């Protein structure tokens, strides 16, 4: 007799519902949200389980890998599809959600989500998510310090990192009344910069050791962070039927109006990976830059070329030479991906509008 199991996972406990192939409830109960406890319960109550389903969530990836390791036929269901099916029930509860998930896996009315590889992609993805947080903290501290000393008429040009701290200390001196307030902020700023630098070095090494990331970095505007984020967000390209499916997966699809027509304001949907969508928008902005030399120095991740650019006294935002015409919106642009016999020609259509 085939059995189908629905798991409604929460932080402490998981509601379990087991039904047979005609929908009859065979077992209903709870277990700790732990792979060991769930495995013991499933082997006792659902030894002939055909499918075991639960929604995507913070603990979904961990449970999927652990239950797969002991040969349980688990499937991870798209939370949006599950919500559409479970929201029609009169009473919202963990038990009813578990029963609804069991019915979904029984009849097959669900979309399975591909879970990323456990060791490599998840770790790199976590690093790429943590790095912007450090950048935001560093920027917030710099803005806060600028705001505090501006009230005393102390102004200085744009600077980040060590240069920022040195300029602040030089302005305050050794006897300024704000020194006791600013010093702790500068100490935290120094530690944040050190940890961000460690992330940057590790991300740079990972990108250089990955052939796919190196090829992606040959696209103008794509650096190590964008290339590595794209590489490990997609993870397994075989799960996409076409390139347009990747765009929809990332949320790069036009919004639909209530009347069913397509909005023409250039905005995109809110679904998909926000981090990668933001990096792709930044890469597209660089690609449309009016200065070709600046684009390639940023896109190839060549630090020596960028340093040479600054030594010549040229500005990133206001280059002296503007003879190369900018790429225009509403056109198709050709970009070579890679070099030599293995190179690929991409025809890029323009896209306008920042991510939501």
Query: What pLDDT is stored for residue 268 in this prediction?
Result: 61
- Those residues whose C-beta lies under 8 Å from the C-beta of residue 313, and which sit 6 or more positions away, are none
Q: How far apart are CA 336 and CA 339, in angstroms?
A: 8
Query: What pLDDT is stored for residue 52 in this prediction?
Result: 93
Task: Please choose, from the candidates 294, 318, 321, the residue with its C-alpha nearest in 3D space to the C-alpha of residue 306.
Answer: 294
Q: How far apart are CA 284 and CA 264, in angstroms?
A: 19
Query: What pLDDT is stored for residue 36 in this prediction?
Result: 92
Q: How far apart are CA 21 and CA 16, in angstroms?
A: 16
Average pLDDT, the chain: 78
Query: What pLDDT is stored for residue 198 in this prediction?
Result: 94
Query: What pLDDT is stored for residue 99 in this prediction?
Result: 87
CB distance 105 to 74 below 8 Å: no
Partners of residue 345 on adjacent β-strands: 336
The low-confidence residues of the chain, meaning pLDDT below 70, are 89-90, 117-119, 253-271, 289-356
Query: What pLDDT is stored for residue 8 in this prediction?
Result: 92
Residue 334 burial (CB count, 10 A):
8
Dihedral sign for Cα 116, 122, 124, 130, please. Answer: positive
């Amino acid at each position: 007799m085939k059995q189908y199991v629905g798991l409604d996972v929460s932080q402490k406990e998981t509601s379990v519902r087991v039904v047979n192939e005609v929908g009859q409830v065979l077992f209903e109960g709870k277990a700790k949200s732990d792979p060991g406890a769930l495995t013991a319960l499933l082997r006792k109550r659902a030894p002939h389980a055909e499918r075991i389903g639960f929604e995507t969530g913070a603990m979904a990836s961990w449970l999927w890998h652990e239950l797969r390791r002991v040969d349980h036929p688990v499937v991870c269901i798209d939370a949006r599809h599950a919500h559409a099916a479970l929201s029609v029930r009169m009473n919202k509860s963990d038990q009813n959600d578990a029963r609804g998930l069991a019915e979904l896996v029984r009849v097959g009315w669900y979309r399975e989500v591909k879970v990323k590889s456990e060791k490599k992609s998840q770790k790199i993805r976590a690093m790429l998510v943590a790095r912007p947080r450090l950048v935001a903290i560093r920027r917030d501290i710099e803005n806060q310090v600028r705001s505090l000393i501006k009230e005393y008429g102390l102004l200085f040009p744009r600077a980040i990192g060590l240069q920022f701290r040195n300029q602040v200390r030089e302005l305050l001196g050794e006897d300024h009344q704000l020194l006791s307030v600013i010093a702790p902020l500068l100490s935290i700023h120094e530690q944040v910069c050190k940890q961000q630098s460690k992330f940057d070095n590790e991300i740079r090494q990972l990108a250089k050791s990955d052939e796919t990331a190196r090829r992606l970095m040959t696209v103008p505007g794509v650096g190590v962070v964008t290339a590595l984020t794209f590489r490990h967000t997609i993870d397994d390209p075989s799960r996409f039927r076409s390139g347009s499916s990747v765009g929809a997966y990332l949320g790069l699809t036009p919004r639909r109006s209530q009347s069913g027509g397509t909005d023409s304001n250039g905005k995109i949907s809110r679904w998909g990976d926000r981090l990668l969508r933001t990096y792709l928008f930044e890469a597209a902005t660089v690609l449309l830059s009016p200065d070709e030399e600046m684009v390639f120095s940023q896109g190839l991740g060549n630090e020596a070329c960028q340093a040479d650019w600054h030594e010549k006294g040229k500005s990133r935002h206001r280059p002296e030479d503007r003879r190369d015409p900018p790429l225009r919106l509403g056109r198709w642009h050709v970009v070579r991906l890679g070099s030599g016999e293995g190179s690929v020609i991409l025809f890029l259509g323009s896209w306008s509008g920042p991510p939501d």
